[in-house]
Structure 1
Amino acid sequence: MGTRSEGPPLGRRKFVMLMAGVAATATSGVACAPAAPAEPAEPAAPARTVFYASVGADLGLYTVDENALTLSRDSVIRTPDLVQYVWVHPTAPVLYVAYSNRSKANDNHGVAVYRIDSGTGRLTEFNRPLTLDNRPIHISVDPSGRHLLIAYNQPSNLTVHTLNADGSIGDPVAQREPVDVGIYAHQVRVAPSGDIVVVSARGSDATATAPAAPGALRVFRYSDGQLSSAHSVSDGDGLGFGPRHVDFHATKPWMYVSMERNNELLTYGVQDGGISPSPLFTKATVSQPELRAPAQYLGPIHVHPNGRFVYLVNRSDGTVDLAGKKVHGAGENTVAVFSIDDSSGEPTLIQSVGIDAFHARTFSIHPNGKMLVTAAVAPLAERDGDQVREVPAGLSVFGIGDDGRLTFARKYDVDVTGGPLFWCGMVSL
C-alpha cells in the first residue's frame, strides 16, 4: 500500500509515540585539578506533532503548525477499506487502523498495522492486517502496550489480542469468563490504572420496525488481557440511557461520559475495580437536550491534557424540505467546553462554539493543549436568509486559551467523494 504525495496546504488527548531519556554516568576518584565548569545542557527539542484524518479508505497525514494553527497535507496512504477508528501504541511507533466495508455482505473487516516514521510521521505497513468477522467500530491499546482491545457493534462484542514486542498483533486472548458487552457496543477504553475496562453500550431508540434497546456502561476488571467481574451501570431499565464514548481524567479518579442519545455529560467516580453506581454530576451539553436524535445527538469526548477542561461535540444533521431541497433543520453543531472543578470533578459549561460544518464524528486536541481540530463527516445545505448555502465537510481548527475557551481559526474544506471524513487524531513523534 504505497504513499502518494499531495499538494498544497489544505487544511486525543495526547498520544506519546517515542519516549527518549538521557542517562548520566559518574566516576569516582581523587581530583588532581579543579573540575572544568560544566557545559550548559542543550534544551530538549520539543516533540513534533502530526495530524491524521481519514476520508473513506484514505488516511491522510498533515504537518501541524501549532503556533499558526494550520494544517498542511503531506501524504496519504490507502488502507484496506473504510477507516473506522485509529489508535496509537503507547510506547512504540506503531499505529493501528480498524477498517470495514460496512456492507451487508459482511466480508471485509480488520485491523491494519503501520510503522510511524519518527521524523515525518509517514506510515509504512509492516505487518499483515488482522482479519475479523465483523465491523470493528472502536479499538484501543491498554496502557502497558501488551494488548489490543476491539469493540464490535453488530453483533455487539469485544475481543482482546496480544501485542508482540514490535507492536505487531499476535494471538487472541481466550477469555476464561463470558464477555457480555451489552447492546451496540460503541467504544472500549482501559482506565489509566490499567485494571478497569469500560465498554460504552449505546443501546438504541425505538424505530418504526424495532423496539427500544437498553444502553449501559459495561465495566470489567482487567488483568493480563483477561476480563472478569462484569457489571452494568445505567439508569433504571437503561431504555433511555445511551452512552457513546468515555474519557478518563489522567490523575484524578473521574470518568466523563458522552451520552449520545441524551445530550448529556455524565461524571462518574473511578473506584477500586469499577466506577460509581450512579453519576456524580449530570450536565446538558446543548440548549435543547430534549430534541434528541435525529435532530440532536452527542459525539466524542476528550479531557484536556492539563485535566482542567473537558470537550464534547454536539452533532446535528437532520434535514427539512426547503423549496424541494433538503437543508439542515433544528439542532446544534458545536463544541461544548466544560471547566472541571479540581476538588470535586464537577464540570461546568463555559462555552459553546460553532464548527461551521455538520456532524463532527471525531476531534483531537494537540498535546500542548493549545489547538483543537474537529472533523465533520459530510457536506450539508443550510438556510442562508432566503438562499441555500452548501456547507462542505471539513476540518475546523480552533485555538485553546489558558481558560480553556476556543477561538475559531479556520476551516479546511475536504472533498469526501471517496467516503466520509470519519476519524482524525494528533500524534506526537
Structure 2
Amino acid sequence: MNSPSLSAVRPYLPRAKNARLLAGMLPRPMLFALAVFVLMTLIVVFLVPFPSQVDELQHLSVIRAQYEHPTLFPDWSEYLILRPDDLTQWSATSNYINHPSLYYLLLAPLMSLSNDPVVFRLVNVVISTSALAIVMVAARRHFTPDVVPSELFAIFAASFPKAAVVGGMVNNDNLAAFAGAALFGGMLGLPGAAWWIMAGLAIAGWTKLTAFIGLAAVAGAWLGIEILAGRMKLPDRRVLLAALGVTVGAVPYLVTFMRTGQLLWVNEALWRIPVAQRLHLDLLGFASWFFKGLVLKWPASEFSHALPVAVLGVLTPLGLAAMGLRYRESRPWGIAYAIGLAALMAIHFGFGWRSYLTLGDLTIMQTRYYNILWPGVALAATMAVARFDPRWRYARLLVIIICLSPTMLGAMINLNF
C-alpha cells in the first residue's frame, strides 16, 4: 500500500489564509471546539485500522470504480469490492453501496495521486470539519452571544457522537453533513442564503436518500413557518431556490426508479436472511428492536454504554432541545428540525420494517444518519441551557457532561471500528 506524499495531500488541506479568516469569524471557544474535533478525526485517520466496520472499503471501492469508469448514474449491481490486501485489485465480492454518485465522483480524481486510504480519510476530515465550521459561523453571525453563548453552542454543535468518528473515515455521511450545514447556514441567513439552501438540498439529494428526506422536510417546514408567520412572502427567492434544490436532488432517485421501479437499488442477495434463520418479530417487537438498536448505537463506540446510560445520553440533548422550543428565538428552526426528525425517523422505521419483512434484515438501525439534523438540536439545546437559572450552574455542568459522554467517553472506552 502506497504512503501518501505531502504533495498528494497538500491541495486538499485548508490553506493558512483560510484558517486566519476562520479565526477572525469565530471566538476562541468555537475555535477550540473545532480544534478538538479535528484532533479526534485525525486520531481516527491514523490509529483506526483500515478498513473500519463503517463501510469504508465499500465506499473506497466505489470511488475506485468511478475513477476507472466515471458515470452520473451507475448500475450499482455491477460494482465489486476491492481486495483489502491489495487496493489496486478487485475481489469477486459484490458491493452493496447504492448512493448517488456525487461523493464518489468528487473523490475519484485522488486515485491519480494515491490509492492510500489515509489520503481519502484526510479529505473527509476537511469535509467534516468544514461542515462544523459552517454551522458555527452561521450561529455566530445570526445570534448575539447573550442569546446563543459561543462556548455552549460550540459544545453542543460538536457533540454528535458519530461526527468525529465518521469524520476521519471514508464515508459519504461527511458530505451529507456538509449538505446539512449548508442548509442550516442558509436558514440562518449566511450571505447568499437562498443559494446555501439550494446547495444543501441538491448536495443532499446527490449524496444520500436519508439526508435528502430529512433536510427537505426541514426546509419545507421552515419555509412554511416563515410564510405563515408573515416573515416571508411568495414568491420568495429562498422558496424558489429551495424548490430548485429539491428538484435537482431528486434526479438520481427518479432515474433509478425509471430503471428499476425502486428509488434505491438493494443488494438483496447479500442482505437476504434464510427464513429458518430469521428472528421472528411482529410490528411491536420490531419497534422494540429498532429503537433499542438506535439507542445502543448512539455512543461514538457502539454498544459501549449500558442501555440505561445510553438512553440518558440520547434523551438529554433531545429533551433540552424540546425545552428550547419555548423560546421565540429558537422556535422557527427548532420546530422545523423537529418535523425533519419525525419525517426521517418515520421513513427510516418504515424502510427497516419493509426490509425485515422481505429480507429478514435487521441492520437498518444507524444513528449516524441523524447527524444532518444535529445543528437544529444543538441550537435549541443551547438556548435552553443558556436560560437555566444562574443558581443551577451545577445542573448546567451536569447536562453538558451527559451530552458529551457518548462522544468523548464512548470513543475512549473502545475504538471498535
Q: TM-score, normalised by structure 2?
A: 0.26
Relative contact order (C-alpha < 8 Å, sep 6+): which is higher? 2
Q: TM-score, normalised by structure 1?
A: 0.25
